[in-house]
Structure 1
Amino acid sequence: MKAAVWHGKKDIRIEEKELKPLKEDEVTVRVAWAGICGSDLHEYQEGPVFVPVEKADELTGEIAPIIMGHEFAGIIEKVGKDVQNYKVGDRVVVNPTLTHGDKPEDVDCYDGFSFIGLHGDGGFTKYANAPESNLYRLPETLTLQDGALVEPTAVAVQAVKEADLRFGDTVAIYGAGPIGLLTTLAAKAAGATKIIVLDLSETRLEKAKELGATHIINSGKVNGPAAVREIVPNGVDVTFEVAGVAPTFKQAIDSTRARGTMVIVSIFARPIEWNPLHLTNTGVKITSTIAYTPTTFQQTVDLMGTGQLKPQGIVTSQIVLDDIVEKGFEALTNDKSQAKILVELSGEK
């Protein structure tokens, strides 16, 4: 089957791959649509970040080259003999996170986690295997294309939950890429009154405004924290760092009120230099999130199914697998008007 395979930095190839044998607790999903994630882009531009290259991943048992793609939905094609709750023909979205499963999610939701599509073969192909425990049914109100948006939306929902954001809170979001835009949606749904989005791209800022930002700031033209404090003089209750670079990390802290919270949502592909004394006079709390709990994933499916979260507006392009490098990864690298690009596999609705 044709697949988008990661071999190294700037080296993703469309080539033939065989589907690995189906385990007894797995299903084979006929992939309909898959999204290109910011973490996929990091692997393309700067990798390896997560992709195992020196030894096999302990949870997947796989090593590069691997089939990329962890934001995907499709239809069950085949079930292993121990699968109990799903059948051939079910419409599902895959939660790509794999854990040891030894700890409750409220104790450690990242219990040695790995990702289908980053640490092992994923969804940029015709068929993908996934454990039954990682499947979620799509409600009839959602298309399979919508299903490809569940995973990144769940990242934003978890980020808002980690912030303990409450009705009436004020928010600043540094970075208006796909996750920043989805965090805008989630913050609005959670009751934030002021949602300030900062970015260097006017196109992305306008998209943030469309999706619910109350204020947009081009941080390349003005001092970001100063501009935020013109709107909320004491600083916002919560900031989300969704850009993944040292300047925005520091600016996010400077935009937060005393004893407020800054949430790191982005992936830092490389270390940054930062002095913790930056926090000493304010008591700003820093927390972080990279994925979501199983509960949050189901809540995201439910919120999208009822229309309380509508992430479809972040989609800027739909492409076919053969074009994934030029019209996918290269487009996201060079064209800041692009946000979420979906890859059509079977194309089923």
Structure 2
Amino acid sequence: MKTKAVRLYGKNDLRLEEFELPPIREDEILAKVISDSLCMSSYKAAIQGSDHKRVPKDIDKNPVIIGHEFCGQIVEVGKKWQDKFKPGDKFTVQPALNLKDNPYAAPGYSFQYIGGDATYIIIPNEVMEQNCLLKYEGDAFFYGSLAEPMSCIIGAFHASYHTQQGKYIHIMGTLENGFMAILAGAGPMGLGAIDYAVHGPKPPKLLVVTDINQERLDRAASIYTQEDAKKHGVDLYYVNTANIDDVENYLLSFTDGRGFDDVFVFAPVRELVELADKILARDGCLNFFAGPSDPNFSALLNFYNVHYNSTHVVGTSGGNTDDMIEALDLMAKGIVNPAAMITHIGGLNCVAQTTLNLPKIPGGKKLIYTNIELELVAIEDFKEKGKENPLFAELAKIVERNNGLWCKEAEDFLLENAKKI
């Protein structure tokens, strides 16, 4: 079986290549990838190359396939797994394998034959042994791709914790009916966090979302409205902190000076981390969600409050399998809709350039359909491009009927009519 895939050979060295996959062994599975959502973590791996903790040292000789937010269909199943999986099954993968001999190994970073930015892949035995190959029952493939980023958000909410005074017990999870702030929260992952905070199992009483980009804040407010949040018992506010002189006290004013029980930091900016620390309530939890590229990234922390007010810090890198199962379940039931994360669509041919320039490209998630050839296009540009290209003209009509969001109808039309790679 031949595959086309984007492989990492070294720092800033991504190549789209066609090559032969070896025959699968009895404990492996051959699969077709349909969609992959590009992640900033892939950008970090691409620029760091073998210096990245998940990337092997010999990628110059044995390159790895990038991409870890993917969804597809099983083509062939090795004998060992035929009682559990069958050809035609839709699937997604939890990339955090947590292997004993290599805890950092993950599809999309560490393997030659499995990664999201490919047409066909071989799923190795380790993935099934760790129960990280998950059947996907949904209709739209792109939701399967968004299950992984949603699982990261869910995992972060689960990793936050609170305590009871006088007891050495950690009560896991964000505080229900508490005060929550999401700093730098109008980006793609922030949108998912807003969705889960409002519609998930433990909504806060107050949710304040900050950013310095008014356009992103306006988009977030149009998708996750104050009116809808109120129906779920959440007072939701969007705040542009760019022109506020005293951001700390302004944010604290939403809590009458009490502070926030849960503060999430969605950008690796020192000043943002220090702001989060300053607005914590007693027993407040600072959740550092954004992964920095700099291994020496640091910020000041008020240890007086750590000692006397029980403030604390947590951080997670990805979610676990249970988090991903929860994400799939919430999407299947229509409780959360992470389609708001997606702002661009492209084909496999644009992956290398897009990944290497990800921080420079505005908007949210870049969704790739790996079996088509398509330039990276913003959803908001469909109508303009439709003046010359009937494909985009129809896609513009479809997303307009869906509140400007990517949807199953758009996916079906694209897969049926776009040029195959």
TM-score (norm 2): 0.72
Check 1:18–1:217 CA distance in 2 against 1; reply closer, same or farther (3 A cut).
Answer: farther
Picking from 293, 299, 309, the partner of 1:274 is 299
Q: Normalized per residue, which structure has more helix?
A: 2
Contact 1:77 1:89 in 2 (8 A): yes
Question: Could you list the per-position Cα deviations for residues 255-296 of structure 1 after superposition, in whole angstroms to 9, with x for gaps in the alignment?
Answer: 221211111222121122334444445421111111222222
One-letter amino acid of the counterpart of residue 320, structure 2: T
Out of 240, 253, 263, the position equivalent to 2:287 is 263
CA distance in 2, matches of 1:37, 1:70: 8
Alignment of 1:106-125 (within 5 A): 112-120=103-111, 121-125=114-118
**Aligned partners of 1:211 and 1:314: how far apart in 2?**
12
Question: Could you say which residue in structure 2 is the equivalent of 1:89?
Answer: 88
Report which structure shows greater RCO (CA 8 Å, sep ≥6): 1
Check whether the contact 1:5–1:67 (CA below 8 A) recurs between aligned residues.
yes
**Aligned-pair CA distance for 1:243:** 0.8
Partner residue, 1:204 = 216
Q: Given the alignment of the two structures, is residue 240 of structure 1 paired with residue 264 of structure 2, yes or no? A: yes
Q: Which residue of 1 aligns with 2:151?
A: 154
| Distance in 1 separating the partners of 2:177 and 2:91 | 35
- In the TM superposition, residue 306 of structure 1 has moved relative to its aligned partner by 0.3
1:25 aligned partner, one-letter code: D
C-alpha separation in 1, matches of 2:371 and 2:194: 31
Instruction: Please tell me the residue identity of whatever aligns with 2:53.
Output: F
Q: Does 1:183 align with 2:193?
A: yes
Q: Distance in 2 between matches of 1:172 and 1:181?
A: 13
Identical pairs, percent? 24
Partner of 2:120: 127
How far did 1:327 drift? 4.7
Corresponding letter in the other structure for 1:182: G
User: What secondary structure sits across from 1:313 in the alignment?
Assistant: helix
- Give secondary structure in 2 for the equivalent of 1:283: coil
SS at match of 1:115: coil
Q: Mind listing any 5+ residue stretches in structure 2 that lack a counterpart? A: 161-172, 227-235, 373-410, 413-421
Counterpart among 41, 44, 54 of residue 57 in structure 2? 54
The code of the aligned residue for 1:196 comes to V
1:37 is aligned to 39
Determine which of 318, 321, 329 is the counterpart of 1:302.
329
Structure 1 unaligned residues grouped into runs of 5+: 57-61, 103-110
How far apart are the structure 2 equivalents of 1:198 and 1:45?
Answer: 29
CA distance in 1, matches of 2:21, 2:96: 19
1:205–1:19 Cα change, 3 Å: farther
Code of the residue aligned with 1:220 in structure 2: it is A
**2:237 aligns with one of 210, 215, 218:** 215
> Cα–Cα, structure 1 residues 291 and 42, in superposed 2: closer, same or farther, change >3 Å?
same
Find the aligned partners of 2:215 and 2:23 in 1 and give their Cα distance: 45
How many residues align? The count is: 333
Residue identity in the other structure for 2:269:
V
1:274 counterpart letter in structure 2: A
Q: Which protein is bigger by CA-based radius of gyration?
A: 2
1:225–1:254 Cα contact (<8 Å) kept: yes
Deviations 1:134-165 (A, max 9, x none): 2212224x411211111001111111122212
Cα distance in 2 for partners of 1:267, 1:284 equals 21
Alignment CA distance shift 1:38-1:212 (3 Å) = farther
Answer yes or no: is the 8 Å Cα contact 1:146–1:312 preserved in 2.
yes
Local SS of the residue matching 1:70: coil
Supply the distance in 2 between the matched residues of 1:89 and 1:26 (Cα, whole angstroms): 15
Flag the 1:91–1:273 CA change in 2: closer, same or farther, 3 A: closer
Using the TM superposition, give the Cα deviation of residue 304 of structure 1 relative to its aligned residue in structure 2, in angstroms. 0.7
Q: Indicate the SS of the match to 1:207.
A: helix
In structure 2, how many angstroms separate the alpha carbons of the residues matched to 1:88 and 1:252?
48
The residue number in structure 1 matching 2:351 is 324
Find the aligned partners of 2:122 and 2:115 in 1 and give their Cα distance.
Answer: 8
Displacement of 1:212 in angstroms is 5.2
Residues 18-66 of structure 1 show CA distances to partners (whole Å, capped at 9, x for unaligned) of: 435534333222000000012112234555433425368xxxxx98631
Of 247, 268, 273, which aligns to 1:249? 273
Provide the residue aligned with 1:344 in structure 2.
369
